[in-house]
């Protein structure tokens, strides 16, 4: 995959998306003193170079979770922050992260970028150690895969559908963000989409949506369940 598949564009003031088609988006959030790269996804060989073209500030890498499509470019960086519950997911996976050192953080961790603070929030369900990142000042939420239009992968051993529903309800009750930047598909999306995801998830749980065969190679028995523009592979 070459960098022609990448679309690097500004999504808010001092905030950039690095998007590989509709497959995965990483986000660069820039303060006055440092910058934060949320996920190092896709397969851009020059991700670090592209980041350094956007900012000359020191950059910290942090992860929403440990799946391979979010960590392909970690080997270009010295270290990355991740929830401890997802460290073994990374180490036991197939993605080579080179000499990148994994640094544990958890919900409540604050990245002070200088005039801009980004708070790590737990967002479990898709994985055990999922994190979202909240920019309270600018009312932006970077949600990884867990809040995301289109089918969310929920068939892996590290996924828990009941936890996902509980987390969606918790985020639906928040009043801290106006825009959500998922790691896949369309961005940004509005907070009202969380209600749509809850309705879809509860319908799947209660057997009110019939699954269909996915149009992509997935393990035997996995179906796709859609309600409007929300859905799950399960």
As given in the structure block, the two tokens for residue 98 are 């080179």
The residues that bridge with 144 in the sheet, in sequence order, are 182
The chain-wide mean pLDDT, for the chain, equals 95
The residues that bridge with 134 in the sheet, in sequence order, are 119, 141
Give the dihedral of Cα atoms 170, 22, 66, 100; nearest 10 deg: -130
Q: Convert the pLDDT of each residue in 2-58 to its tens digit.
A: 455 778 999 999 999 998 866 799 999 999 999 999 999 887 889 999 999 999 999
As given in the structure block, the two tokens for residue 52 are 């350094």
Q: What is the DSSP track for 73-130?
A: TGGGSSEEEE-GGGHHHHHTSS---TTPEEEE--TT-EEE-SS-EEEEEE--SSSTT-
Q: What percentage of the chain exceeds 90 in pLDDT?
A: 88
Residue 229 CA, distance from chain mean position:
18
Nearest residue to 37 via CA among 22, 45, 47: 47
Residue 129 CA, distance from chain mean position:
12
76 band by pLDDT with thresholds 50, 70 and 90: very high
pTM for the whole structure: 0.96
Residue ranges of E strands in the chain: 6-12, 15-20, 24-30, 35-38, 59-62, 79-82, 101-104, 110-112, 117-122, 131-135, 140-144, 150-153, 179-182, 224-227, 230-233
Dist CA 124 CA 223 (whole Å): 22
Supply the range of the domain harboring residue 145.
Answer: 3-233
What's the total number of domains in the chain? 1
- How much is the pLDDT for 2? 45
Mean pLDDT for the stretch of residues 67-96? 96
- How much is the pLDDT for 22? 61
As given in the structure block, the two tokens for residue 91 are 């180490």
Which CATH number covers residue 203?
Answer: 3.60.15.10
1 band by pLDDT with thresholds 50, 70 and 90: very low
């Amino acid at each position: 995959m070459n960098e022609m598949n990448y679309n690097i564009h500004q999504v808010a003031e001092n905030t950039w998306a690095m998007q590989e088609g509709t497959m995965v988006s990483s986000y660069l959030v820039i303060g006055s003193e440092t910058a934060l790269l949320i996920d190092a996804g896709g397969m851009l060989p020059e991700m670090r170079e592209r980041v350094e073209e956007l900012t000359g500030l020191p950059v910290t890498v942090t992860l929403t979770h440990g799946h391979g499509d979010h960590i392909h470019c970690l080997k270009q960086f010295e270290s990355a922050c991740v929830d401890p519950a997802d460290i073994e997911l990374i180490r036991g996976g197939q993605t080579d992260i080179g000499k990148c050192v994994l640094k544990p953080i958890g919900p409540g961790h604050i990245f002070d970028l200088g005039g801009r603070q980004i708070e790590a929030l737990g967002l479990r369900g898709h994985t055990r150690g999922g994190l979202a990142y909240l920019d309270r000042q600018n009312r932006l939420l970077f949600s990884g895969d867990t809040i995301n239009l289109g089918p969310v992968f929920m068939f892996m051993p590290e996924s828990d559908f009941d936890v996902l529903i509980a987390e969606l309800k918790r985020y639906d009750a928040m009043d801290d963000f106006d825009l959500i930047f998922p790691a896949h598909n369309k961005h940004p999306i509005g907070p009202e989409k969380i209600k749509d995801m809850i309705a879809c998830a509860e319908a799947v749980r209660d057997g009110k949506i019939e699954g269909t065969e996915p149009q992509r190679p997935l393990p035997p028995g996995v179906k796709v369940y859609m309600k409007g523009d929300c859905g799950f592979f399960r």
